[in-house]
Copies of this chain bind each other. A is one copy, B any other.
Amino acid sequence: MELAAYLRLYDIGELHSIKGIAEGVENSNFLITTDDGPFILTLYEKRVASEDLPFFLGLKEHLADAGFSCPRPIAMKSGETLGTLAGRPSAIISFLDGLSVSEPTVKNCYQVGAALGKMHLLASDFKIHRKNALTLENWRPLFEASGERANEVQEGLVKFISTELDFLEKNWPGTLPSGVIHADLFPDNVFFLKDQLSGFIDFYFACNDLLAFDLATCINAWCFDAKNVFEPEKANALIRGYVSERPLSQAEYDALPILCRGSALRFLLTRLYDWLNVPPGALVVPKKPDEYIEKLRFHQTINQTPSYELSAKEAGLL
């Protein structure tokens, strides 16, 4: 059995069970148990570029070594974490106990913010660099890939996006602190166990970009209710948690509204593209972009960070 031979490259004992896991569209994931307990076995499919794997695996290893709670790639006896199984790049990763929350509380938002700030600090001495493929310069080509069809989703959407892109290209902050960001820290990707945050998962969008852009993505993902109404007390908690670990500079604080607009547009554009390009027989029905159209419209009404009902004091600047 090929898998049994593969496991002998590791020092985790013999295989007891294997189950395919239904989540994860990018890769094939299996829950395996061995003499040493449960692990996740991942086969990397073609949507993940193999040249990025040392970044993804190295980042998780770096963070886990630093005491951050995230899945840890298990090293083979050779010391390597990246292997080959069934003709594909593969890795065995520790099993992270915990559950994502479908309705985050204010306390959850504080915890996520704090863990994000900690992650940004701990990743600051990680040596590998990965460009963000979904940042400002990529949005216009992504928009053009949908083009006029955007109006099929909502009347006037082409004009709406085009105007927003012009604005963001003119006003995007270029000089804020940058570093390794998670870039996809939605509630799905944060586990909690008995009310405590137990870790971040799914680092397959992680990259180098503005640190505060990660915080903006979290504001969009964690701080709106099911009807897309902004919840300022959650955003306050998220930011207070963040600055409890990593203080924001005045420039980062001031840039939050435009970073939130940019992050909303980034998810609007990918969801728009995926929505317009569902392959026939797709296993996963893509999310409609509407949620992020509404969030972007909201942020367009915000001229400065205190309009989020967040004072510089709450943000830890004073």
Structural contact, A98 and B20, CB atoms closer than 8 A? no
Question: What's the minimum C-beta distance from A189 to chain B, rounded to whole angstroms?
Answer: 14
Contacts of A33 in B (CB 8 A): 38, 97
- Number of identical monomers bound together in the oligomeric complex: 2
Tally A residues with Cβ within 8 Å of B.
Answer: 27
Q: Given the complex of chains A and B, what is the CA–CA distance between A19 and B38 in angstroms?
A: 12
Interface 1/0 per residue, A276-308 and B, CB below 8 Å: 000011110000000000000000000000000
Q: Is A31 an interface position by the 8 A CB rule?
A: yes
Question: What's the minimum C-beta distance from A266 to chain B, rounded to whole angstroms?
Answer: 27
Q: Is A22 an interface position by the 8 A CB rule?
A: yes
Q: Is A121 an interface position by the 8 A CB rule?
A: no
Structural contact, B16 and A98, CB atoms closer than 8 A? yes
Q: Is A14 an interface position by the 8 A CB rule?
A: yes
Q: Given the complex of chains A and B, what is the CA–CA distance between A14 and B195 in angstroms?
A: 12
Interface 1/0 per residue, A27-55 and B, CB below 8 Å: 00001010000100000000000000000
Listed in ascending order, the chain A residues whose CB lies under 8 Å from chain B are 1, 14-23, 31, 33, 38, 95-99, 102, 191, 193-194, 280-283
